């Protein structure tokens, strides 16, 4: 008896162009490495800084294709111009984000505005700009936002941050519905606490460490490597039937 075996779709991204925003360090840099390892030509974007150039150079030194692209997600007009001039991009990973934590009773309007400007307004128009380029070119694509487990639950001192991430999940679903027929997929990755330079302050607080340890069912905090495979999956044809959803990388935090 003979039969044709099904074949696992490819995780490779050879010939694809990827844009990673917030790529100078942490999760964004790790995402850029994952895409480059899969064969994509990666543009690492963030505000211009030696750190951004060093990140692109490090990926290039590893034998992969990468370049730096100065981009400020808070300047929507300049953002759209940069994406139009450099695109179209087959893959987007938006890892740009801001967190200003504190009790809800003490939230300042200026801090609220800063966090929403980057996490919601900037993210929204970045997605729109990349999608416009793909749709105009008649190309499919995968748009990914690094969201958070806080997009699905609440957290101590995180009312504003959680609100922004809930908003991201909302526009992700709507964009997925609108752009699906054009072959543009839109998803989020929702990590738990990931050990990066930006989370050092949280991990230096014994009370926060206790809270985190009790919530993560796998008994450890996340590392950037835990996000890399999720990025490669959602960027590639391996996830061709996945859109409008969240990939939880939270160690079971939201399982309750």
Q: Mean pLDDT of all residues in the chain? A: 94
pLDDT per position as a tens digit, 131-185: 999 999 999 999 999 999 999 999 889 999 999 999 999 999 999 999 999 999 9
Sequence spans of domains, the chain: 17-251
**Which of 6, 5, 31 shows the shortest CA–CA distance to 19?**
31
What value, to the nearest 5°, has the Cα angle with vertex 65 and ends 61 and 69?
100
| Catalytic status, residue 112 | no
Residue 213 pLDDT class (50, 70, 90 cuts): confident
Non-local CB neighbours of 21 within 8 Å, separated by 6+ positions: 28, 45, 46, 71, 73, 92, 93, 94, 95, 96, 126
- Which fold would CATH assign to domain 17-251? Rossmann fold (3.40.50)
Q: How far apart are CA 114 and CA 83, in angstroms?
A: 23
Total residues found in the chain within this entry: 256
What 3 state SS string does 95-123 have? CCCCCCCCCHHHCCHHHHHHHHHHHHHHH
Q: How far apart are CA 152 and CA 165, in angstroms?
A: 8
**Which of 61, 23, 15 shows the shortest CA–CA distance to 43?**
23
Q: In this model, does residue 70 exceed pLDDT 70?
A: yes
Q: Are 41 and 11 in contact (CB under 8 A)?
A: no
Q: In this model, does residue 3 exceed pLDDT 80?
A: no
Q: What pLDDT is recorded for position 202?
A: 80
pLDDT per position as a tens digit, 188-206: 999 999 988 778 778 888 8
Tokens 């964004």 found at = 28
């Amino acid at each position: 008896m003979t039969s044709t075996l099904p074949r696992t779709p490819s995780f490779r991204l050879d010939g694809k162009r990827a844009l990673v925003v917030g790529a100078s360090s942490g999760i964004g840099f790790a995402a850029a490495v994952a895409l480059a390892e899969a064969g994509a030509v990666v543009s690492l974007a963030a505000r211009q800084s030696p750190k951004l150039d060093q990140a692109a150079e490090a990926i290039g030194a590893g034998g992969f294709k990468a370049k730096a692209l100065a981009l400020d997600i808070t300047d929507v007009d300049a953002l759209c111009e940069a994406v139009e001039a450099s695109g179209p991009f087959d893959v987007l990973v938006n890892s740009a984000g801001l967190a200003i934590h504190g009790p809800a009773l003490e939230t300042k309007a200026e801090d609220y505005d800063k966090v929403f400007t980057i996490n919601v307004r900037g993210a929204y128009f970045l997605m729109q700009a990349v999608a416009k380029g793909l749709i105009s070119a008649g190309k499919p694509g995968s748009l990914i936002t690094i969201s958070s487990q806080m997009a699905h639950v609440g957290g101590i001192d995180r009312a504003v941050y959680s609100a922004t991430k809930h908003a991201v999940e909302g526009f992700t679903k709507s964009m997925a519905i609108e752009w699906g027929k054009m072959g543009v997929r839109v998803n989020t990755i929702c990590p738990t606490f990931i050990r990066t330079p930006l989370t050092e302050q949280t991990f230096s607080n014994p009370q926060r460490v206790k809270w985190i340890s009790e919530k993560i069912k796998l008994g450890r905090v996340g590392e950037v490597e835990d996000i890399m495979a999720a990025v490669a999956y959602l960027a590639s044809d391996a996830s061709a039937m996945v859109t409008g959803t969240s990939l939880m990388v939270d160690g079971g935090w939201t399982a309750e």
